[in-house]
Structure 1
């Protein structure tokens, strides 16, 4: 058996189905980022632990969760509210957790969008670290999301999990990615000034994860990123074969890239209100000091 953490924020639409899919485990912990809807109320109807903690970032939330909420079992699985645990994946996780050779495992998502599986333009199989031995993994921030730091070797699971990315409607999707684009813009500025591209990982990476991380760092340096991303996803990856849902997905991803570029330009050329306020405060302090003198 292994414990399951479920991360939530205003997930009243998805939380019940998510918990019910995870009920194969006897230890479910809902970690809520102080939702303002009925997420906590609904979660409390089930035999689960519910803990609230103010959200700072994806990496920090996961690290806080692992450091402050002790699981019942040695192995844990991280599940988000718009994802589902399947009986097949659960059974494979049980078997994998008995293998002493690995401290964690990556699982691939199946992106469900507009009631369709977007198989091609989502780089399937795209892996995320989900199952691991507690105390052997922690997380750092990268853009709007996180990257794992593992103290030991990791493996890959064959079974996948469904990820329902548009279940709350397009307005919620656009609002969420508007917020995400701000974090991605900050990461882009940082990487352009301090990061590098690992060409070895890009071409000879040992896993899909290493190659994808290297490709991400390279993409930050490409001109016309929104256009390149659309062409890559729609034609090279085969999004054109995913039908209307695939076209919509590729278009929204290109729009997301454009938002990031706009905010990168904004960060470089337009002073933030916070900075202006600090300048005004310093000027006011100087005027008071001058008057006193």
Structure 2
């Protein structure tokens, strides 16, 4: 679903970056959705499948990454070390695809923010889910203003080389505001349920330990941070989360598909 279907006259002045490890099944779809970005890079961690060949078939450079077990982790390493042609960077996962509407929205931004949250919509059997919660990531950012925080998690298994479930933050001395884009990416993670559940088990284990350490970084948006703090201290928060997910957000209307998502996220919220 290339952005070009909306007939853009100029390339989007953004560096689109995909972090990969063994993503041959997903990468082509993601790359095809980014054709109107001025720069596209794949930063790969020792893939043993055809990830590099897929990237090369789209004439996209593959930059090798070998983690040394310390900070910076992968995304911040990219911001620090990779030759990015633009101040604005769009981090997108290989199992995601930018919609034409999102591309058009990004192309029309006035770039007055420090960063933008992008929604992710799950896709099952080729159909986008309409209900339940959507995840939002601050993945379109100004690299001159933003960075990923260093937190005390190097002794925690699960996350390894990649930053955990937290947002980038403003650099010291920088100021800026944030907005959420109307359109989003399509998320194909549910095509491999076992991988999805395994990944979220790792997230939950990481979250439990970092929460016990009181090491979670603050969200860059104050209202979001307050909401997270309230949720963490709610008694019966899993019941509250269930009601919000299935009743308020109408996830019950697509229960067959949402039960796997809910089960994974419930573990995460139970972890603290």
TM-score scaled by length of structure 1: 0.71
Residue deviations 1:192-222, cap 9 Å, x none?
A: xx779x9xx9xxxxx9x54443333333334
Measured after TM superposition, the shift of residue 9 of structure 1 is 1.9
Structure 1 stretches of 5 or more lacking a match?
Answer: 202-206, 262-293
Residue aligning to 2:169: 149
Q: Distance in 2 between matches of 1:227 and 1:114?
A: 29
Measured after TM superposition, the shift of residue 256 of structure 1 is 4.6
Aligned Cα RMSD in Å? 3.1
Q: Do structure 1's residue 127 and structure 2's residue 122 form an aligned pair?
A: no
Q: Do structure 1's residue 172 and structure 2's residue 172 form an aligned pair?
A: no
Q: Do structure 1's residue 30 and structure 2's residue 42 form an aligned pair?
A: yes
What SS does the aligned partner of 2:116 have?
Answer: strand
**Counterparts in 2 of 1:1-293, with a 5 A limit?**
1-55=13-67, 60-96=73-109, 99=110, 101-113=112-124, 115-122=126-133, 124=134, 126-140=135-149, 144-150=164-170, 151-153=174-176, 154-167=178-191, 169-191=192-214, 210-257=222-269, 260=271
Structure 2 stretches of 5 or more lacking a match?
Answer: 1-12, 154-163
User: Greater relative contact order (Cα 8 A, min sep 6): structure 1 or 2?
Assistant: 2
> Does the CA-based 8 Å contact 1:114-1:166 persist in structure 2?
no
Q: Distance in 1 between matches of 2:223 and 2:75?
A: 24
What SS does the aligned partner of 1:254 have?
Answer: helix
TM-score scaled by length of structure 2: 0.76
Moved more, 210-219 or 157-166: 210-219
Compare CA radii of gyration and give the structure with the larger one: 1
Q: Number of residues paired by the alignment?
A: 244
Q: Distance in 2 between matches of 1:78 and 1:45?
A: 21
Measured after TM superposition, the shift of residue 128 of structure 1 is 2.0
Moved more, 230-239 or 216-225: 216-225
